[in-house]
Structure 1
Amino acid sequence: MDPFKQMSEWKRNMDHFFGEDFWGQFEGILKPTIPQINLYQTDNEILCIASIPGLTDLDKIDIFVNYTQLELRGTIDIGYSGGTVVSEEILQGVFERTVTLPFPVRSDKIKATYSHGLLYIQLHRFISDSSQKHRIKVELLKDK
């Protein structure tokens, strides 16, 4: 029997038994998310480093920042199509990844650079006038 047909039947039975979204719960375990991302935080900055090998056209990656969300969209393509795949550990394909940031960031002060397969995104903490420390005067309430 064809092993792919067996897998398809097995998956169909599991979907029937556990529900249609059964495999979606395991997607991050079975297939790791791409791109892989490291976040580094200081008091007022966040450095995001994303692994995106083979990026030759910088216009093919989209970076969006919205307050405490960083969103990356693009394609990882290592550009090799010859031969039969024996082992494939470098994940490729279209990706859309959203990362929750540890604090709100400024949308007007972002720097993104790309070097040797790594995308570096520098983000700066958003500090509004209302979030700065202000001394509060305490009033004494008199008994009536």
Structure 2
Amino acid sequence: MKEPINWKKVHDDIEEVLGDDFWDEMKDVIPKRGPTIDVYCNGERVVIFAEFPGIEVENHVKLKKEGQSIILHGEIPYRYPFPKAELELSERFTGTFQRKVLIPFPFSLQKIATFQNHGLVEIHILKG
């Protein structure tokens, strides 16, 4: 498997060159496109941790297999009683999303279990 990118180092290097406020300014230029995820793998299973605060995952998130990848797709609804354009600050993602995660071994949808706890979803994928 390819060596993962050290995003913390990339973040720190960019901040060192372009200044401390670079990422705050970039939020408007490159908005968040979906849920934040972490991935754990031990060779026999992969666990994807995905943030979905305030939504019923079973109604808004779907999983599908594409080759050796799992795709999380769905919609995070906008739930405020006023137009999004009127927000003074908007950091939380709403709208449709798709996240694709490469799984380093063969798997089937039948060997996937999901758990939700306080807005954090765990997706357990077993080898085979």
- Pairing 1:76-91 to 2, within 5 Å after superposition: 76-77=76-77, 79-82=79-82, 84-91=86-93
* Structure showing greater Rg: 1
Once the two structures are TM-superposed, the CA of residue 95 in structure 1 deviates from its matched residue by: 1.0
- Shifted more, 29-38 versus 109-118: the winner is 29-38
> Alpha-carbon deviations, 1:39-94, whole Å to 9, x = none?
10113111001111221362332111345211111111252233730101111111
Q: 1:100–1:33: structure 2 CA closer, same or farther, 3 Å change rule?
A: farther
Task: Give, in whole Å, the separation in 2 of the partners of 1:37 and 1:119.
Answer: 9
Hey, what does 2:60 align to over in structure 1?
Answer: 60
1:112 corresponds to which residue? Answer: 114
Q: Which residue of 2 aligns with 1:46?
A: 46
Please say which of residues 81-90 and 115-124 is displaced more in the overlay: 81-90
Identity, % of aligned positions: 24
- SS of corresponding position for 1:102: coil
Secondary structure in 1 aligned to 2:124?
A: strand
2-side partners of 1:57 and 1:118: how far apart? Answer: 10
How far apart, CA to CA, are the structure 2 residues paired with 1:57 and 1:45?
22
- Partner residue, 1:130: none
Residues 38 and 49, structure 2, Cα contact 8 Å, conserved in 1:
yes
Relative distance call for 1:113 and 1:78 in structure 2 (3 A) is farther
Give the count of matched residue pairs.
98
Higher relative contact order (CA 8 A, sep 6+): 2
Deviation at 1:31, TM superposition (A): 2.4
Q: TM (normalized to structure 2)?
A: 0.65
Larger deviation, residues 84-93 vs 59-68: 59-68
Instruction: Specify the alignment match of 2:13 in structure 1.
Output: none
Cα gap change, 1:98 to 1:57, in 2 (>3 Å)? closer
Matched, 1:75 2:75: yes
Which runs of no fewer than 5 residues in structure 2 stay unpaired?
Answer: 1-28
Give ranges in structure 1 of 5+ residues lacking alignment: 1-28, 127-144
